Amino acid sequence: VFWSERDDRRWRIWGRRKQNGKWQSPVEVSGGGSNTFHRASASARGDVFVVWQSYRSGQSDVYLRWFHNGVWSPEFRVSDSPANDWEPAVAASADGAAYIAWDSYDRGNYDIFFRGFRDGKLSPIQPVTTSPRFQAHVAAAVDARNRPWLAWDESGVNWAKDQGFLIPTPLAAPIHQQRSVRVATLADGRWMEVAQPPRDVFPDEMRENAEHPQIAFDGGGSLDMIFRHWTRRNARTIGSPIEWENFLTRYDGRNWAAPAPLPDSAGSIEKHAALARDAHGDVWAAWMTDHRPFATMVPAKADIYCARLGAAPPASIGAESLVPFEEAPAEAIPVHAHEPENVRAVRGRTIQANGKHYRIYRGDMHRHTDVSQDFKYDGSLIEAYRYAMDSAAFDFLAVTDHQNGYDQEFTWWQNQKLVDLFFVDNAFVPLYAYERSVPYPNGHRNIVWAERGTRTLPISRAEMQGTEGAAKLYAYLRQSHGISMPHSSGTGQGTDWRDNDPEIEPLVEIYQGYRTSYEYERAPRAATALNPTAQKSGWEPKGFVWNAWSKGYKLGVQSSSDHWSTHISYACLLAENFTREGLVDAIRRRHTYGATDNIILDFRAQSNGKTYIMGDSFSAAVAPQYSVRVAGTGPILQIDLIQNRKFIYTTRPGTAQASFEFTDRGAEPGGTWTYVRVLQQDGQLAWSSPIWVRR
């Protein structure tokens, strides 16, 4: 038996053997790093092979250990890419070999890789796929002829790159939209696939919504495959029913059987079946269901089911059943060709002020998954982290599903577990979070903590009706050390700014990839009264951020995604240390800015011999001097210095790097809020948090 167990901030893989009716002492199988996603397989002669994904030095690789003649081997590093390698599979053959497969972001997209292991030695790595398509979630099996077989998911090109409400023709595939299953085998040193692909027998509605295959050979030689299928309606609208179910199909060397549903298997995306063959050659499956009814999609009590899949006629998959494996041509138009250099530049920038050193940490504080009832191509919890770590190269992520899934304990626990699972010391820091969705005039808010363990706060009828405000929420967050951030503020999900607690609510989402900008009416990427349909989800102009600042609210800004949208919203935090506590402290201090690309923005004020950075508040007897430095991802069209609803300085540099100083001699006595907006020639934007000055 093998399991993963959390030890402070890292995970270890453990194993335990039962022999002669007695359990032996547990053995730690994994080595250094933080270790997740393990699989094991045993050969007929009693060897056991365990593979897992291990995060070391900021990125993940695949490792292997071999249990042979009662002794564990040293660990073997199986993958060698400098990119993240994911979710390995392993299958043992009757002749003592093992075959390992995984997917890797090595080429800037996910591809399937393969490697054999025999007598303590690894064979060379083979790329199975080289297409720019999304190809991931591989499963492995070995047939009676000791041929390894692989099955995996495929989707489109430029997975999880630029798309959003204001991008009419995305050049990218969403995190989750179209999925199909591919099957291949290594026969006589060449990758082959079955002459009849599985999709040929799938009903039309399954051909683009079949995924996560699990495979095993039964004693008669048939290839059994269980896959997940998205059963849904209203495929093109938000709020589609969210129900995946398991289906079984078999390949006998000539045909795939029509998919048959496994009863009681409804649930979210990545609730995989597990397959095993017994001594009689029958394949058994075990799977999870949460009993969600199709009418409401509300998960109920979770259960585990187990069943024998039934006898199949004898099968023979010979050479005549196979054709060479080929990938259809696919074109991926490059998105942000210089993104790696831009990311390195952001991560390499240090901002020094008053003896403190700040680094810029980029992420998303508003990301949904299939836990949310209004799922729209958002993908699973695991794929949200893949997106953040690989496609967007973020430093942190807050998954903010609505009420963490109907205020249910299981979905809340699952979110907390994965926050811990994907923590990578000094490389990636997930936050504990959820979205509390109350309509206008109270407004939707994203809730964030540095510490785990706080359940969601149920929403009262009075809050939904707008007769009760945010006081109860603020008290709950003060007690649990949490933070609130309004979003979609100018929509029917927004607020008229009736409530604010500066200690609890330090930030607002000024821009959202799934919708628009909420800076002020007529601002870049914002709607207007003459064209309110340019603002998705309703027109409530009282919610524009200028109105909150004019009321005296000290709100910093950040930019995030919400549903569907990817790779165009960046919440940038200026933090002194790269921990959950350090990031949340930056949020509390409003040391933040929002952007639509990897733009570096450094906004400061000098006064009284001190330096203040964006988000700070101070008093001054003389005019402060503002300092602005920008490193864009392309030529900068315009930089605006905006104070109390007025544009007090504008420059048009026309270069990717720009800086200027401005002494604020025209400010009237009293309080001012001043911030910077950057607009590039390609339309990309950045907004600093204001600096507040009391004269």
Amino acid, res. 261? P
Q: In terms of C-beta distances under 8 Å and separation of at least 24 residues, what long-range contacts does 605-608 make, across chains too?
A: 605/674, 605/691, 605/693, 607/693
% of the chain at pLDDT higher than 70: 99
Phi, psi of 31 (to 5 degrees): -100, -125
Answer whether residue 98 shows pLDDT above 80. Answer: yes
The confidence score (pLDDT) of residue 72 equals: 96
Asked if residue 237 has pLDDT above 80, the reply is: no
Structure tokens at 465: 């009706």
Does the pTM surpass 0.85? The reply is yes
For residue 441, cis peptide bond before it (omega within 30 degrees of 0): yes
DSSP state of 259: P
In the chain, pLDDT over 90 holds for what percent of residues? Answer: 88
Using 50, 70 and 90 to split pLDDT, how confident is the model at 232? Answer: low
CA distance 31 to 55: 11
| pLDDT digits 0-9 by tens, 556-608 | 999 999 999 999 999 999 999 999 999 999 999 999 999 999 999 999 999 98
DSSP state of 200: G
pLDDT tier, 240 (very low <50, low <70, confident <90, very high otherwise)? low
pLDDT band (50, 70, 90) for residue 235: low
What is the mean pLDDT of the segment spanning 609-629? 95
Cα dihedral: 269, 383, 330, 254 (round 10) = -30
SS3 170: coil
For residues 55 and 430, is the Cβ–Cβ distance under 8 A? no
Q: How does the average pLDDT of the chain come out, rounded?
A: 95
* 3 state SS of 125: coil
Cite the beta strand spans of 258-302 per DSSP E: 260-261, 274-277, 283-289
297 pLDDT band, cuts 50/70/90, is: confident
At residue 633, the pLDDT reads 98
Structure tokens at 333: 């138009």
Which ranges constitute the DSSP H helices of 357-441?
381-386, 403-406, 409-421
3-state secondary structure (DSSP) of residue 192: strand
User: What number of other Cβ atoms are within 10 A of residue 533's Cβ?
Assistant: 8
